[in-house]
């Protein structure tokens, strides 16, 4: 991989995750065959040279795949089915609604990087000093809100999947769920310049507006023809936008996901949540509170916070259960991560469900300071 | 409602503080950011900027208002029973600062009640009046008349009990028993001479016999004394009698030290009498201690029902030093476990000493070889039978020897306690003056008559030494048809006379017969008291007090010349009682002062005593009074015994004396008199009813605390 691209990934992926990356096998990316990096056994028959089976010819089969010798022996038309061999393009779709930037403020690595003097060499200046595409949300980097842990995790996860996909020489893209259809969704590519473009956009972008995940997925379902791995990263809590409320937008999302599923795309949904969103635990249990969401909508709660918390948790539990059920209906892998926990452990939990993933603790050790060895 | 500090009512604006705080709290409620607001139940939202927790707010406002009212010294006005002069006048407020002022009842002393009443009075005086302050029973200086009462109010407010205890002259404060009529001249002198202006004395005291009911005497015509009962007494007036009466009020009313008996000459018998001044019946176990020289030597527990006085007795053996009893020992009886709000009568101070031998001189004016006609023999026999030999010393004189001793060596008669002049020719005027001086100093003098007694000479030379002037001796009338004079007996002793106080039934002379006796001229002044009378009413034994001494006169003979009294069994008791009573004028073995006096009562000193000698009085708590020698015929200042306790009087060149001072028992809180008998109302003055301002700040503070307590409970429950 291009060193500058690798450095750009290193700046986007949290250091712990980046250090553990060689030992992570992210679903649905498979362990590659030895010596054939980037090629995977595809469950579907494809253009590989290896023979899988014979079957009776069916209308629609490529006539070039007819095994004439076998047909002569059996006196019927036999089609030769070969092992599928594919490069699985991956596109990571990252929700950009304001709630994604929630949680404790963490040092903004992009601010440090942007403070470095500009250089004409794009590869040596680093990713974040690159003046590429304009940030659709914040055109002025100095006015950008601070980076928070939830967004760092979401952004890091998108970069993580993209990085490993690129390592396996798959065409890869990161799509930011911003206002569609101004631009078409990016096409997965292995071009380093294209990779740097979406990495730069990812680095500069900070969630601030309403969710555009539903329109983005609808566009993807219309634009993507080749089977892709589609990784969707969002908190799935409030997908509302200017035209749809949260429930309508959520339904629209799953409608688009259903279309993508029917087109043969492999879907992975990642739910990134903050501790406050999961537990609704605020210290002191104030009797009176004024709630404000990151989009500036607010209202006051004057009643007992404990009762509000109970109702909130019930509603959230029902919502997540519904999400899980709808994902299962689409055979969609569903991962749930919390921004406040140990990200590696949480990923390890997801990896255990993968049959060919080695135990993480056998792969590397984590020092008491949290740095992997 | 009125306020002592109205400007502090500005604090009521502080009630806005909780309101603003609640609004401010609502405005600055905690702000919580959350991205998943869609799951927060929308029904729990309410508009902002509204008062929350109205119950808490209400309690806080109430607490604030109560605190502001208490700081402003809120008082509610109540029409009182106080009668005050309606016209502008000069008002002298006299507060009773005697011992009874420290009586505490319902956690408040009588003194504080009087101060409150005085403050109420000052507020109620009509405009244009002037007021002054005086204190009865205290040496606190009076406050002169002034139109602005601020100084007086400040003075009254500052005059707590502590300051009263520390008055400029220690003593005479809070333990004295001075009636207002005893200070009539001093109080009248405080008024300024302005005949057209009404002058009123408001006497603020307890509605008790020793308080408001003691107003008597003639006051100047333009001064009227208006009794002002304290508030409690006013309430009692409104109720049906005795509402303020204390339930349990016990004090040591009196104490007596009886002389030793013959079998135990060094053992004294102490008898304390407890009295209940409160209501009965109830029963309480009391504990009394006898302390001698500061050490508790005996403790007695007894149950007291309060119905009748209770006598508690001790037998105390005096210590011996070299065969003789030790000197006087300071002693007191103390009531330990009873707290009734009035402490002075819970203890009684006295001196313990073995009385010295009573010296009785007998002047025999008509010696006889026949014992039955010899006064000295009969009197000596009776005295030796009546007294312990160690406690009696009899000296016989002839009239000439007495005259020589009186003129040549008067100090040889100093130790003489009782002198019996038995059938003696009338003394010369010089001797009579000598005897009168001795009697005034405390000696007892007993005249018995006989053939040598001439009524004319006695009336001319020694009238002041007789209870009544003598008429001629007369025989009892002879019965018709008989030649011998008729005899007559004596009546039973008259128990009212102090001579028979201790044992009136022991004198049995009813079988006696007397043929001749001196008749006496009735005394219009009524100074003489009859202790014994003949059956036809003529007095047989009379007495009178002269100075500190006492004089007795037996109107018949001691021997058998005129009567056979000496042959009767009751004669011994007659002689014993008479001599003992006469000897009381010089108690404590010839002391110059009585052994027990009331606190605050000035004790006169014989002028002859301080003419050449300095007198020093040493009392409790370091008290000391020195009286320098005075010029001849110059009255000496009296001894001042300011506090209850033991006093030693030291006279340069002479032996000292011991005095025990106790608070006048009349100061003990008496049972509340019936409402009808309470403070008399002035009728001739045009008066009006004063209003009382009752402070309500304690209630305000209590209410504020209650509100804050409820507020904390509500706050904790809502948290």
The pLDDT value recorded for residue A168 is 80
Report the candidate in B548, B552, B656, B639 with the shortest Cα–Cα distance to residue B594.
B548
Give the Cα separation of B214 and B208 in Å (integer): 8
User: What pLDDT does B616 receive?
Assistant: 87
In the three-class reduction of DSSP (H, G, I as helix; E, B as strand; rest coil), residue B507 is classed as coil
Query: Is it the case that residue A307 has pLDDT exceeding 50?
Result: yes
**Is the predicted pLDDT of residue B278 greater than 80, yes or no?**
no
In percent, the amount of chain B with pLDDT more than 90 equals 13
pLDDT score of B584: 74
Best of B25, B39, B43, B55 to disrupt the A interface (most A CBs within 10 Å) is: B39
Q: What is the pLDDT of residue B154?
A: 86
Q: If pLDDT is split at 50, 70 and 90, which confidence band does B87 have?
A: confident
- Cβ neighbors of B608 (< 8 A, separation 6 or more) are none
Inspect the interface and report whether the beta carbons of B31 and A288 lie closer than 8 Å.
no
Within 207-236 of A, beta carbons closer than 8 Å to B belong to 235
Q: Dihedral angle at the C-alpha atoms of B42, B44, B50, B51, nearest 10 degrees?
A: -170
- What is the distance of C-alpha A248 from the center of its chain? 22
Give the residue-averaged pLDDT of B113-140. 85
Residue-level pLDDT at B105: 76
To the nearest whole Å, the CA of B66 is away from the closest chain A CA by 29
Q: Kindly report the number of other CB atoms within 10 A of residue B556's CB atom.
A: 25
Q: Which residues of B touch A299 (CB under 8 A)?
A: 37, 42, 45
Point out the residue among B26, B40, B719 whose CB comes nearest to the CB of A291: B40
Render pLDDT for A123-150 as a digit per residue (tens, 0 to 9).
Answer: 333 333 333 333 334 444 444 556 678 8
**What mean pLDDT comes out for the span B366-377?**
82
Beta carbons of A294 and B35 less than 8 Å apart: yes
> What is the distance between the alpha carbons of residues B167 and B140, in angstroms, rounded to a whole number?
6
| Mean confidence (pLDDT) of chain B | 79
| pLDDT tens digits, A235-269 | 999 888 888 888 999 999 999 999 998 888 889 99
Residue of B nearest to A294 (CA): B35
**Residue range B80-94: mean pLDDT, rounded:** 81
Residue of higher predicted confidence among B196 and A352: B196
* A207, A291, A292, A316: best to mutate for the B interface, most B CBs within 10 A: A291
CB contact, 8 Å: B37 with chain A? Answer: yes
Highest mean pLDDT pick, B104-118, B296-310, B478-492? B296-310
In this structure, which long-range contacts are made by residues B321-325, counting pairs with CB atoms below 8 Å and at least 24 apart in sequence? B325/B266, B325/B353, B325/B354
Segment B491-499 mean pLDDT = 80
| Per-residue pLDDT at B171 | 40
Query: Is B717 at the interface with chain A, CB within 8 A?
Result: no
pLDDT at B316: 86
Contact A288 B44 (CB under 8 A): no
Q: Which of B553, B29, B597 is nearest to A288 (CA)?
A: B29
B38 touches chain A (CB under 8 A): yes
Residue of A nearest to B32 (CA): A291
Q: Which of A118-132, B252-266, B322-336 has the lowest mean pLDDT?
A: A118-132
Q: Which pLDDT does position B299 carry in this prediction? A: 92
Buried b (16+ CB within 10 A) or exposed e, A82-103: ebbbbbbbbbbbbbbbbbbbbb
Chain-chain contact of B44 with A303 (C-beta, under 8 angstroms): yes
Which range has the worst mean pLDDT, A332-341, A354-363, B385-394, B636-645?
Answer: A354-363
Question: 10 Å Cβ neighbour count for B414?
Answer: 13
A99, A240, A308 member nearest B40 (Cβ): A308
Q: Which two tokens stand for residue A233?
A: 């990263």
B55 and chain A: CB distance < 8 Å anywhere?
Answer: no
Cβ-based contacts of B30 with chain A (< 8 Å)? 282, 284, 286, 288-290
For chain A, what is the mean pLDDT?
74
Nearest CA distance, A238 vs chain B (angstrom): 7
Does the pLDDT at position B2 exceed 80?
no
Q: How confident is the model at residue B678 (pLDDT cuts 50, 70, 90)?
A: very low
Whether the predicted pLDDT of B613 surpasses 50: yes
Could you report the per-residue pLDDT of B288-312, keeping only the tens digit for each?
A: 999 998 889 999 998 888 888 889 9
- Interface contact A306, partner B, CB < 8 A: no
Q: Is the pLDDT of residue B24 over 50?
A: yes
How many CB atoms are closer than 10 A to CB A138?
A: 15
Q: Say if residues B451 and B423 touch (Cβ distance below 8 Å).
A: yes
Model pLDDT, residue A49: 59
How close is the nearest chain A Cα to the Cα of B238, in Å? 56
Q: Return the number of CB contacts < 8 Å for A and B.
A: 97
Beta strands at B529-533 and B418-422: parallel, antiparallel or unpaired? unpaired
Q: Is B312 helix (H, G, I), strand (E, B) or coil?
A: strand
Q: In this complex, do B37 and A288 lie within 8 Å of one another by their Cβ atoms?
A: no
| Cα torsion through B170, B176, B181, B187, rounded to 10 | 20
What SS3 class is residue A309? Answer: helix
For residue A110, say if its preceding peptide bond is cis, omega within 30 degrees of 0: no
Closest CB from B35, B41, B45 relative to A237 = B35
- Quick one: pLDDT at residue A308? 80
pLDDT at A324: 92
In the predicted structure, residue B715 carries a pLDDT above the cut 50: yes
Collapsing DSSP states into helix, strand and coil, what is residue B231?
Answer: helix
Indicate the residue of A238, A301, A311 with minimum beta-carbon distance to B36: A238
Which residues does chain A have within 8 Å of residue B42's beta carbon, measured at their own beta carbons? 299
Q: How close does chain A come to B22, measured CA to CA in Å? A: 12
Asked if A307's CB is within 8 angstroms of B40's CB, the reply is: no
**What pLDDT, on the 0 to 100 scale, is given for residue A140?**
46
Quick check: B33 contacting A, CB < 8 Å?
yes
Asked if A301 and B40 come within 8 Å (Cβ–Cβ), the reply is yes
B525 part of contact set with chain A, CB < 8 Å:
no
Alpha helix (H) residue ranges in B409-497: 429-440, 455-461
Where do runs of H (alpha helix) occur along chain A? 3-12, 15-20, 68-74, 109-114, 122-125, 149-167, 192-204, 213-223, 246-262, 275-279, 305-329, 343-352, 360-363
Report phi then psi at B391, rounded to 5.
Answer: -105, 15
What distance in Å separates the CA atoms of residue A366 and residue A344, rounded to the nearest whole number?
10
Q: How confident is the model at residue B590 (pLDDT cuts 50, 70, 90)?
A: very low
Mean pLDDT computed over B239-253: 61
pLDDT score recorded for residue B495: 72
Length of chain B: 719
Contact B39 A319 (CB under 8 A): yes
The beta-carbon neighbor of A312 closest among B39, B718, B719 is B39
């Amino acid at each position: 991989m291009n060193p500058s691209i690798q450095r750009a990934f290193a700046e986007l992926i949290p250091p712990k995750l980046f250090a553990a990356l060689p030992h992570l096998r992210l679903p649905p990316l498979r362990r590659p065959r030895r010596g054939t990096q980037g090629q995977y056994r595809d469950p579907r028959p494809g253009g590989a040279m290896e023979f899988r089976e014979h079957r009776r010819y069916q209308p629609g089969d490529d006539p070039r795949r007819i095994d004439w010798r076998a047909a002569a022996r059996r006196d019927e038309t036999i089609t030769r089915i070969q092992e599928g061999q594919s490069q699985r393009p991956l596109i990571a779709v990252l929700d950009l609604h304001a709630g994604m930037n929630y949680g404790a403020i963490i040092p903004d690595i992009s601010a440090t990087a942007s403070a470095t003097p500009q250089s004409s060499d794009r590869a040596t200046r680093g990713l974040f000093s690159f003046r590429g595409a304009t940030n659709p949300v914040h055109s002025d980097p100095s006015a950008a809100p601070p980076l928070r842990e939830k967004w760092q995790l979401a952004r890091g996860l998108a970069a993580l999947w993209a990085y490993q996909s690129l390592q396996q020489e798959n065409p890869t893209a990161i799509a930011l769920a911003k206002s569609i259809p101004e631009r078409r969704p990016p096409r997965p590519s292995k071009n380093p310049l294209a990779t740097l473009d979406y990495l730069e956009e990812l680095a500069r972008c900070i969630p601030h507006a309403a969710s555009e995940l539903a329109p983005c997925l609808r566009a993807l379902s219309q634009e993507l023809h080749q089977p892709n791995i589609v990784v969707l990263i969002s908190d799935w809590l409030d997908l509302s936008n200017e035209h749809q409320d949260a429930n309508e937008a959520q339904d629209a999302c799953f409608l688009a996901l259903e279309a993508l599923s029917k087109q043969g795309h492999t879907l992975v949904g990642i739910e990134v949540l903050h501790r406050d969103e999961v537990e609704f635990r605020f210290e002191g249990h104030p009797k009176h509170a004024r709630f404000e969401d990151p989009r500036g909508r607010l209202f006051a709660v004057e009643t007992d916070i404990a009762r509000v918390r109970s109702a909130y948790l019930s509603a959230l539990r029902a919502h997540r259960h519904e999400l899980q059920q709808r994902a299962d209906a689409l055979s969609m892998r569903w991962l749930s991560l919390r921004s406040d926990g140990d990200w590696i452990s949480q990923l390890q939990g997801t990896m255990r469900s993968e049959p060919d993933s080695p135990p993480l603790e056998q792969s590397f050790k984590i020092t008491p300071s949290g740095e992997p060895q | 409602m009125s306020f002592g500090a109205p400007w502090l009512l500005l604090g009521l604006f502080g009630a806005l503080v909780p309101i603003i705080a609640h609004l401010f709290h609502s405005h600055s409620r905690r702000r919580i950011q959350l991205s998943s607001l869609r799951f927060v139940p929308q029904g729990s939202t309410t508009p902002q900027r509204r008062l929350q927790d109205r119950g808490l707010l209400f309690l806080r406002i109430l607490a604030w208002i109560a605190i502001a009212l208490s700081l402003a010294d809120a008082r509610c006005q109540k029409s009182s029973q106080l009668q005050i002069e309606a016209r502008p006048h000069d008002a002298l407020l006299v507060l009773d600062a005697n011992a009874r002022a420290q009586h505490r009842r319902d956690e408040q002393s009588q003194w504080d009640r009087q101060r409150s009443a005085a403050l109420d009075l000052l507020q109620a005086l009509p405009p244009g009046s002037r007021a002054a302050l005086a204190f009865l029973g205290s040496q606190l200086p009076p406050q002169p008349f002034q139109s602005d009462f601020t100084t007086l109010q400040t003075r009254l407010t500052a005059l707590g009990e502590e300051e009263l205890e520390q008055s400029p002259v220690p003593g005479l404060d809070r333990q004295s028993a001075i009636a207002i009529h005893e200070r009539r001249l001093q109080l009248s002198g405080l008024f300024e001479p302005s005949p057209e202006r009404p002058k009123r004395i408001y006497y603020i005291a307890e509605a008790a016999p020793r308080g408001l009911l003691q107003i008597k005497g003639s006051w100047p015509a333009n001064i009227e004394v208006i009794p002002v009962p304290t508030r409690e007494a006013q309430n009692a007036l409104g109720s049906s009698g005795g509402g303020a009466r204390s339930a349990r009020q016990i004090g040591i009313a009196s104490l007596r030290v009886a002389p030793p008996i013959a079998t135990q000459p060094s053992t004294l018998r102490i008898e304390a009498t407890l009295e209940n001044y409160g209501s009965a019946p109830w029963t309480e176990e009391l504990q009394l201690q006898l302390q001698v020289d500061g050490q508790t030597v005996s403790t007695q527990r007894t149950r007291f029902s309060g119905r009748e006085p209770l006598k508690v007795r001790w037998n105390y053996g005096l210590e011996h030093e070299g065969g003789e009893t030790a000197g006087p020992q300071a002693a007191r009886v103390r009531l330990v476990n009873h707290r009734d709000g009035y402490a002075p009568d819970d203890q009684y101070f006295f001196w313990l000493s073995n009385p010295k031998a009573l010296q009785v001189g007998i002047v025999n004016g008509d010696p006889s070889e026949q014992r039955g006609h010899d006064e000295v023999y009969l009197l000596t026999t009776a005295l030796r039978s009546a007294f312990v030999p160690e406690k009696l010393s009899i000296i016989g004189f002839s009239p000439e020897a007495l005259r020589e001793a009186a003129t040549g060596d008067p100090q040889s008669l100093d130790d003489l306690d009782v002198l019996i002049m038995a059938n003696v020719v009338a003394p010369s005027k010089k001797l009579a003056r000598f005897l009168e001086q001795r009697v005034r100093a405390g000696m007892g003098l007993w005249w018995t008559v006989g053939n040598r007694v001439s009524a004319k000479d006695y009336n001319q030379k020694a009238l002041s030494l007789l209870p009544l002037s003598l008429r001629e001796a007369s025989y009892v009338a002879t019965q018709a048809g008989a030649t011998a004079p008729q005899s007559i007996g004596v009546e039973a002793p008259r128990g009212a006379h102090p001579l028979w106080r201790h044992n009136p039934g022991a004198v049995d002379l009813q079988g006696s017969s007397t043929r001749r006796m001196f008749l006496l001229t009735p005394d219009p002044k009524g100074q003489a008291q009859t202790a014994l009378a003949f059956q036809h009413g003529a007095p047989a034994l009379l007495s009178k007090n002269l100075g500190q001494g006492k004089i007795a006169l037996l109107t018949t003979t001691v021997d058998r010349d005129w009567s056979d009294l000496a042959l009767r069994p009751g004669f011994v008791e007659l002689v014993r009682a008479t001599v003992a009573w006469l000897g009381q004028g010089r108690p404590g073995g010839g002391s110059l002062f009585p052994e027990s006096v009331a606190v605050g009562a000035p004790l006169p000193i014989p002028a002859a005593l301080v003419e050449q000698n300095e007198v020093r009085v040493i009392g409790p708590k370091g008290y000391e009074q020195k009286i320098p020698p005075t010029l001849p015929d110059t009255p000496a200042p009296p001894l001042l015994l300011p506090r209850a306790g033991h006093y030693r009087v030291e006279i340069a060149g002479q032996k000292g004396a011991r005095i025990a001072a106790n608070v006048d028992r009349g100061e003990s809180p008496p049972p509340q008199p019936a409402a009808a008998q309470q403070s008399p109302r002035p009728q001739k003055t045009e008066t009006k009813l004063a209003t009382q301002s009752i402070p309500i700040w304690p209630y305000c503070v209590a209410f504020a605390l209650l509100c804050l307590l409820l507020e904390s409970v509500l706050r904790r429950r809502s948290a």
